[in-house]
A and B are shown apart, each in its own frame.
Chain A
Amino acid sequence: MTTDTINANQTAWKAYEKFAFRVLFIYFFLQAVPLDWKYYQQLFSIDWSHLGYGAIFDLAHYEPRWSSGPPAYSDWVILLAIALAGAIIWTAVDARGGGRVTSYDNLYYWLRVIVRYRLAIGMIAYGFIKLFPLQSPYPSISNLNTNYGDFTRWKLFSLSLGVVPTYESFLGGVEIIGGLLLFYRRSASVGAFIIAIFLGNVFMSNIAYGGGDEVYSLYLISLALFVLSYDAQRLVNLLLLQKPAAPNSYHPVFRANGRYVRLALKTVFIFFFVILYGFKTRSGYEKDPYQFPLTKGLRGAAGIYNVSQFIVGKDTIAYSKTDSTRWQDVVFEKWATLSIRSNRPVVLDSDNVERPELTSDARTYELEGSAGRHYYRYTVDTVDHLLTLQNKNPHYSDEKWVLHYDRPGGSRIILSGVTTGKDSVYAVLDRVDKKYLLEEARKKGRQGTISL
């Protein structure tokens, strides 16, 4: 076993290796370290006294962008061009004997540290909002009462995950474990390998379902592959070629103070992005899941209602599945959202980017990628029995109504008023005691006998 020669091999860098390394160094440094002024604007606008998990999530969701739009592969090309130019200059300077780097092993080590930590917090940020199933919540009453074909693929993906919180937690757990392994040099490649496989699937899902995190997931994959590449040769030797493999022989040397600084930085970093963030997401899951509004709805009204009577102007309109004005059913959510199913077409709100929203009004998950129903947020005036409705879909932002509500009996609500079209509307709603197969089958199991 000739460990000496192996060590020697590792430290001797060839010219082309150095050049390639310089390119990669600049490229990954720019990818991983936030230099964008917008990032610091975000950082300094955080209200630290009311720090929420959303703010930490945003800090861990950084990706350098040259435009204000969603991240694009073109951003990477620009970074690569900068890295190439930088490497040429670096090489030229180096050749003239200026700014000579004494140890590329050392530089490689620190670059890998940066990428490892960047990747770790990115994974953990997503991991916790799945471990505590916030990202894809259980479907709302309106979502349960929307036809399968009235959802986009991306929405169906999210709803399908939302019906199984335990599975969502499991996926989050995998992300967190992968992330935690990155905090330690020796286990980093194992973590990166788990992450690369996991994110490979996420990336494919984003393409297939039309998700908004395609570029971001590939970005994280590129970081994972960079981390893994350090040990790739060893692992290929050992596992595929079945040859003896030499371990990593580079160990960073810290002077006395350096050791404490390192320990302190690592502790603070892990405390903030793992422990604090973990607690914040848990309390968020218990008190304020971000996909649905927090504002409470009309008291005791949650449920789905058949529209027994429907009058527009002076005309009673009979039940119809084809008439575009006739309401077919109405849902009151537990929160202050009301949705109406009718044959009136819906221009989709097709937002598909993950972003924990702080204010209730900005939370539009329930209607994103969903047709078949129109969604309204409302405020209740309990004195005059008025509901002030506002269509939640940005395509219908000018749609505002004020409806009077009347609750003659336990399960009946009568709405009357004037809609945007200046027509008076009068609707008698009767609550339906709807049984969902999704829930019945869960209670009884698929081995049981169910009639619905």
Chain B
Amino acid sequence: MSTIAAAATSWSNGQKIAFRIAFIFFISLAIPNSAEWYDTVIHIDWTRLNYRDLYDIARFGSGINIFGDHLFGSTLMGYANWIITLLISIAGGLIWTLIVRRRGTERKEYNTLYYWLRVVVRYRAGIGIIGFGFTKLLPVQMPYPGLGLLNTNFGDMTAQKIFWLSVGIVPWYQVFAGVVECLAGTLLFFRKTTTLGAILLVGALGDIVYVNFAYDGGVHVYSSYFVLLAAFLLVDDLPKVYNLLIRERYTVPVTFYPTLSARWLRVTRIGLKSLTLFLFLGVLFYLQLINFLYDPYKQPAVAGVRTLRGNYAVTEFRLNNKVIPYSPLDSLGWHEVEFENWSSLSFTVNRPTPLDLSNGGGDPQQDVNRTFEITGVAGGRRVFHYYADTVDKVLYLEDKYKAIPDRRNRAGDKAGGRHKGRRQGGDDNGTAKAGISGDTAQGPAATYTSGLEKTPKEAKGKSWIPATALAHIGKEVDQIDPRAASTRRDREYAAAKWEKRNRMILRYDTIDNGNRVILSGVNEKNDSIYIVLDRIDKNFALTESSLQAGKY
């Protein structure tokens, strides 16, 4: 093997300069660029984990952002951060070259440092894609559509919604996609399988980049990020394959592995590697399984009132005691009603309403903030979350729509203000289009510390639900399976305050085993409403999967 070692003992000047630039560039891209990430990781309660804790470790904003994320006044669709980082890396690489030459300390090669740079990139990419992949492997990233979505016209959705749903309707396919992503990530943890993992990653994520551009999915920068890292890992292999197959030459792979002879080095290496595998394959799988079974993160987790669930035709609608006959042109009455398996009431009204065009992702723990059912959906659809007092049969409903949504993208949005008062188109998992910004983990305390506008809170302690009803309703935070309890959930519920939202208080009476439901009470405008609903058994052409998230 002496020839192999010989090939690596001396690098050309060009190679060395390129390496110095690449080193600064990829290290910058591989470490979190905001203090919030570190703060979050420090505050993780390791005794009662939520899948999102590990997910947040795996997903963070990176790249050099001390000079902002704009180039020529534009984020260049989010890629400006890369270019800025590259420019700084070029400058840094040249300065580095200058210094080592002046001091006469220039090395012949960077084999060892290159090896460790590849280790950093491999683990960054591997952990990142596994964090992503597990939300598909246990299919929760793209939920199966609820009744409200099933009853919405195809044309009344954004392209982004259509794509997400097209994966959501085939959970087993989503599992397959998750397996590919997790497999690619796992292969990156081992140096001999790195090439295979990197090829898989380029293939899978390259497609996702294109999907995000085409459907305006918003995760194009983050998915390109993996393509970039994987491409870096393949840089050495492509010339070899070209040499072997196209030029038909005998090809000798040149690989350099440092010898870790010291005992403590070997122990450290094996320890860190084992820890990574244990955390991101073992523990994360378990947490994600719990999430899939009891708390699918985009769907409300608390079960809806059992007797109410289903599709309903509006047989009679009275507004302030005046009957409003059904007409598709009428703008006052409700036209159809669905009670979901979870704590949501969905109905349609033929009156324009501002829409939430985000993608309903992020990490909200409270059911009222889980908005996948309304995001990217028109057609007059309204969705209200309810707290059910099943003793007195009253629903306390809150509109899922908020004029100013919670800031989902925190650490990556330092440039600030750009999304002020506007809906973020952002991503699946909370990232807007600003750089490789992660939806970095947040303790609830940090949630509202940003300078962005936020939905006004009502005075603390003032409840719109009477005390007796609150007692009947119980604590929502505890109404999921105890196995899904986590400190993250507790903290967010504890910090929650009533927000300014549309509200209704409706009494429900069920007749004939819930085949007829009568809702009566006051709507969000304080008008009295009286609605007679008759259950419809719908046979959807879309067939449900054997794999269903959540326990309702």
Q: Which residues of A contact B (CB under 8 A)?
A: 1, 3, 139, 143-153, 155-157, 159-160, 163-164, 166-167, 170, 186-187, 189-190, 197, 201, 204-205, 207-209, 231, 234-235, 238-249, 306, 318-322, 328-329, 345, 348, 369-372, 434, 436-439, 441-442, 445-452
Contact = CB atoms under 8 A, between A and B. Distances in A.
Interface stretch (B153-161, B296-304, B476-484): B153-161
Among the interface residues B150, B214, B244, B541, which one has the most CB atoms of the partner chain A within 10 A? B541
Given A156-B166, A159-B154, A247-B250, 14 more contacts: A146-B153, A148-B150, A149-B145, A157-B166, A167-B214, A190-B241, A240-B193, A319-B325, A319-B326, A372-B541, A438-B159, A441-B159, A447-B419, A451-B352
B248 interface: yes
Among the interface residues A166, A248, A321, which one has the most CB atoms of the partner chain B within 10 A? A321
Contacts of A243: 253
8 contacts: A149-B149, A149-B541, A150-B541, A157-B166, A167-B214, A448-B423, A449-B422, A451-B355
B240 A437 contact: no
A436 B422 CA distance: 21
A437 B377 contact: yes
Contacts, number: 233
Contacts of A249: 248
A147 B166 contact: no
Nearest to A240: B192
Interface string B375-397: 01111100000000000000000
A442 B327 contact: no
Nearest to A442: B159
B235 interface: no
Contact of A450 (B169, B253, B355, B543): B355
Nearest to A234: B244
B219 to A, nearest CB: 12
A433 to B, nearest CB: 12
Interface in B495-552: 536, 538-543
A238 B376 CA distance: 48
B412 interface: no
B520 to A, nearest CB: 22
Given A150-B540, A157-B166, A245-B251, A205 B173 contact: yes
A437 B355 contact: yes
B42 interface: no
A173 B475 CA distance: 54
A147 to B, nearest CB: 5
B119 interface: no
A150 B152 CA distance: 10
B126 interface: no
Among the interface residues A156, A159, A235, which one has the most CB atoms of the partner chain B within 10 A? A156
Contacts of B540: 149-150
Nearest to B314: A321
Given A149-B145, A447-B423, A449-B354, A144 B538 contact: no
Nearest to B352: A451
B313 A322 contact: yes
Contacts of B154: 139, 143-148, 151, 159, 438
B169 A156 contact: yes
B109 interface: no
Nearest to B200: A197
Contacts of B203: 197
A11 B241 CA distance: 23
B170 A209 contact: yes
B424 A447 contact: yes
A446 B237 contact: no
Contacts of B166: 156-157, 160
B199 to A, nearest CB: 8
Contacts of B96: none
